[in-house]
Amino acid sequence: MANAGAVNQEAPERSILKVALTALAGSSIEWYDFFIYGTAAALVFPNLFFPGFGDTGATILSYSTFAVAFVGRPVGGLLFGHFGDKFGRKRALVTALVLMGIGTTTIGLLPGYATIGIAAPILLVALRFLQGICIGGQWGGAVLLATESAPAEKRGFYGSFAQMGVPVAVLISNIIFLIIAATLGDGALVAWAWRIPFLLSVLLIGLGLYIQLKLEDTPAFRHLQEYREQHQSEEERREAEEAAGSPVWEVLKTYPKEIALAAGAFIAINANFYILITYILDYATGDEVGLPQSTVLTAVLISSVAGLLAIAGFAALSDIIGRRIPYMAGAALLGLWGLFAFWPLVDSGNPGLLVLALVVGQIFLSMMYGPQAAFYSEIFSTKVRYSGASMGYQIGSVFGGALAPIIATVLLTATGTSFSVGAYMAAVCAITGVCAFLLSETYGRDMDETSATSPGRATAAGAQEPTT
């Protein structure tokens, strides 16, 4: 294990906090854009874009467009990973934020099926795919902005700021939908007011410009660039880059096992998260349970607050006991809880038990999601870190969240019991637990290989650069 020392000892605490809060803001608004689609897909889009297919058919088609973004996420991870490792974390993050703002705002202007026919769902799918590409690029940028700027002993905590953007985004998106429904009514929400949350995403463009103008790139990436400039001529750098090829190709050659295990370690987080915040909206408001939309949205809000606090807490804990212990414990506990979350708790129709099911589920999920930013960042070396972390995360999302609402809907229809949904939650947790166990503990690794204390000095490309 390399010296855990000073990736960033020169950076004062206030500066690191500013970077972490910026990562939180960027992550929150970007995930907000992503999640308002999920809420609309459950409550609005089935009738607006897929009329004439029946309730179940329209719901499955709507969830299918939701899943399209998960196909785009690994594409975004590849594109922005290459860009972020070649030209810097900040540039890649800013590009992802601006494109997401444009794409989501356009969804808010999209006519429905009754107006333009089949073109409506086609355009919806295309814009949702763009959302997926952008979120695939954003996560790596926001996480590395925080973790590569943080001191090693607080990397888990500061890295969690990017992760906390997820529950913050759920809170903001659902609060907006609740306010719209309460002030304008469900009829207006379905007819036109659903567009308001999408149009508000234009703010993301402004945040992207702020990051571009006000923040430097991360110390680890800057130090790598400086090292190359000081120790290699322009011709040597060009030859080294040609020999190494794309960072994406290099990370696939160097870290294939780690990428596969990181993907598996994310499946349970992603699948269970979308069951607890998206599928639950359709299930608990349907004939099976029959709760009002406002009640279910409020329960999701409460559970998101619990998840927000738990992410920070377990991330900080991982700075003391390591990343793998809370991660594996979270997988085991969430798997057991999933067996009982729907039956009998949610199925009771009791709002208090619904809140209990979601709150406990989010806390157990946060045991994994909190340490994840530091965990995944520490696995890979600086020159391929954006690509490696993004690929592990986004490939896992394809097998996790992309199909979770659809699988849950199909299982319920096929079996007639919500216990099958709980069994699915437990099964993906088992996969994640095994993958986390097979990954090496990363806490304490030096993320700046250019420091004098780093032991390695060779690369796969043959250039004399530091490695972990």
Per-residue pLDDT at 63 exceeds 90: no
* C-alpha–C-alpha distance, residues 265 and 252, integer Å: 17
416 pLDDT band, cuts 50/70/90, is very high
By CB neighbour count within 10 A (0-12 exposed, 13-18 middle, 19+ buried), where does 342 fall?
A: buried
Write out pLDDT tens, residues 288-343.
899 998 899 899 999 999 999 999 999 999 999 999 999 999 999 999 999 999 98
Q: Which domains does the chain have, with CATH numbers?
A: 13-219+244-438 (1.20.1250.20)
Percent of the chain with pLDDT over 70: 90
Q: How far is CA 117 from CA 48, 67, 122, 123, in A?
A: 11, 21, 9, 11
The token duo for 448 is 């700046």
208 pLDDT band, cuts 50/70/90, is confident
- 232-240 average pLDDT score: 61
Q: How far is CA 403 from CA 125, 202, 430, in A?
A: 16, 29, 17
Write out pLDDT tens, residues 120-159.
999 999 999 999 999 999 999 999 999 999 999 999 999 9
Q: Which residue has the higher pLDDT, 219 or 357?
A: 357
The token duo for 92 is 């890649």
Q: What confidence score (pLDDT) does residue 137 get?
A: 92
Q: What confidence score (pLDDT) does residue 244 get?
A: 56
Output the average pLDDT for the chain.
87
Write out pLDDT tens, residues 247-259.
899 999 999 999 9
Per-residue pLDDT at 10 exceeds 50: no
Which pairs count as long-range contacts for 122-128, CB under 8 Å and 24+ apart, including other chains?
A: 124/45, 124/49, 124/65, 125/65, 125/68, 127/103, 128/37, 128/65, 128/66, 128/68, 128/69, 128/72
Q: What confidence score (pLDDT) does residue 236 get?
A: 61
- 445-464 average pLDDT score: 51
User: Which of 163, 418, 173 is closest to 275 using CA atoms?
Assistant: 418
